[in-house]
Chains A and B, each alone.
Chain A
Amino acid sequence: MNRLGVAILAWVMFGLERGFRDALELGDTGIVPSFVFVLVTFIGISAPPLAALWTALVLGVVMDLTSIIAVEGVGSAAAVLGPHALGYVLAVQLMLTLRGIMIRRNPLTMGFLALCGSAVAQTVLVAIFSIRSALGDPIVWQPADELVLRLASGVYTGVIAVGLAVLMLPLAGMLGLSTQSPGRFGPR
């Protein structure tokens, strides 16, 4: 895997995540796609297993570092390291399990795996923050609302991933990734 190439692509995806995704919000529902998760999916279906897990961890850590959560009362905010990282790694683990039986070059595969992976990652994230909230952390968090919104955003991410797959899959070779499905007797 070409680490520099992936890092540049990640930088662009974080830029889109922070700067552009609000423009794609469905009305005023708060449902928005995640560009970073599309990259996680792309890595998850095309990188070697260990590299895919490490990349998911790093992307999750950066996501955690740059995401803040409002704290009750004092009008302040805090960052929590871990929820995105754990969610992304578990999501990639699911993709590694599923990708063997899927046609990796098909953009719909990326859409489907982005949807499933996003559901896993967001469930992990909601679970962690809900436990924190239940334990008395003063964070502003409404578990049921967040779960519904995040699962809907996951579906939207899946739809966006199909479109982005058309652009990203041709880059796989340049990034040292493989979109070839393994044959019956091992990788082709």
Chain B
Amino acid sequence: MAHTARSRRLLLMSLVCMLVTSFLPLKWSAWVSWFGDIAEVAIAPASNPFSAVSRWLRPADLNQPDDETLAALDEELRTTQTLLLQSYSENERLQRLIEELQRGLALNPDMPVQQLNAPVYGTAGDLARGVLRVRAGSKQGIALNTVAAAAGLQLVGRVMSVEPRTCTVLPITARSAGPFRAVIMIDDTLNGLRCTLEPVGDGTLRGDVEDRRDPVTAEPILPEVGQDVRLDDPQRWPRSAQMLLVGKVERIDSNPSQPLRKVVVVRPTIDRMERLTEVLLRITPSAFEEERR
């Protein structure tokens, strides 16, 4: 009887503690993640096989042609396009850098990108939907903001938390991912239409497109359905993510508040990113610097 009474008192005290910790400010709750990492290590072996079955039952739709050779060529083409545009972007950046150097400004060292294929072993609980748990962590050089991509250098998202052996990737289509700037590729140069895209919640991204006119004819330059959209947001995304493919323009609407501007709906080339079985983590030594910042 006394044991039961003591147990009840202890339960009540535990509940009071839970109530207090429920409202602790986030800056005082960092220690929770340390215990979470331990729990994660214990749960991961159980979740891994179920995750494999789940992703086999409902795989991510990579939107690739049925024919294997065609699919390989398609992926190669997309990769080459991305690399070409990245080299353009890098070229522009270097030109700017040279100009800055000439003005005597400091220079960041150029870091190579190392790619790591890492399996997805589950989701990150029910509070952050669509978030992926990936089996690669700080021991493999992953840091906060490390960029995650998929086949054809389709941008998937970036690392939002990292543990020694695992990390969490927040896809660009997750509602909590927030807005980012991108460029609609109207031709093979970097002279595309700038837009700010925001996740809608149904796997697409939506945002306003800049109003630009042809300098000769003064006709508005409009985006078209099917055009590639690539990331171009050096302020918020690491350099290794610039010019990665965000998706294709799926729909163009008019902006009701600004008739001269268009709103585009962009769909990534991979439907249901949260169903990916593996991601390509693009590790740069500078990611550590970005984390520190």
Residues of A close to B201: CB separation below 8 A: 30
If the complex has contacts A15-B47, A57-B14, A66-B39, are A80 and B22 also in contact, measured as CB distance less than 8 A?
Answer: yes
Q: Does A98 belong to the interface (CB within 8 Å)? A: no
Residues of A close to B53: CB separation below 8 A: 19-20, 23
Residues of B close to A174: CB separation below 8 A: none
Q: Does B25 belong to the interface (CB within 8 Å)? A: yes
Q: Does A14 belong to the interface (CB within 8 Å)? A: yes
- A20 engages B54 (CB within 8 Å): yes
Residues of B close to A34: CB separation below 8 A: 126
Residue interface mask B172-184, A partner, CB < 8 A = 1: 0011111000000
Q: Does B168 belong to the interface (CB within 8 Å)? A: yes
Binding site of B, secondary structure by majority: helix, strand, loop or mixed? helix
Residue interface mask B118-157, A partner, CB < 8 A = 1: 0001111111110101000000000011000000000000
Bound Cα distance from A34 to B123, whole angstroms? 13
- A86 engages B175 (CB within 8 Å): no
Q: Contact partner of B51 among A14, A19, A128, CB < 8 A?
A: A19
- A15 engages B14 (CB within 8 Å): no
If the complex has contacts A66-B40, A66-B125, A70-B128, are A79 and B170 also in contact, measured as CB distance less than 8 A?
Answer: no
- A65 engages B36 (CB within 8 Å): yes
Residues of B close to A167: CB separation below 8 A: none
For chain A, the bracket of interface size reads: 35 or more
Binding site of A, secondary structure by majority: helix, strand, loop or mixed? helix
Residues of A close to B20: CB separation below 8 A: 82
Of residues 63 to 85 in A, which have CB atoms within 8 Å of B's CB atoms? 63-73, 75-83, 85
If the complex has contacts A23-B57, A76-B160, A131-B23, are A68 and B178 also in contact, measured as CB distance less than 8 A?
Answer: no
> A-contacting residues of B (Cβ < 8 Å)?
4, 7-8, 11, 14-15, 18-26, 29-30, 32-33, 35-36, 38-40, 42-43, 45-55, 57-58, 121-129, 131, 133, 144-145, 158, 160-161, 168, 170, 174-178, 201-203, 236, 272, 274-275
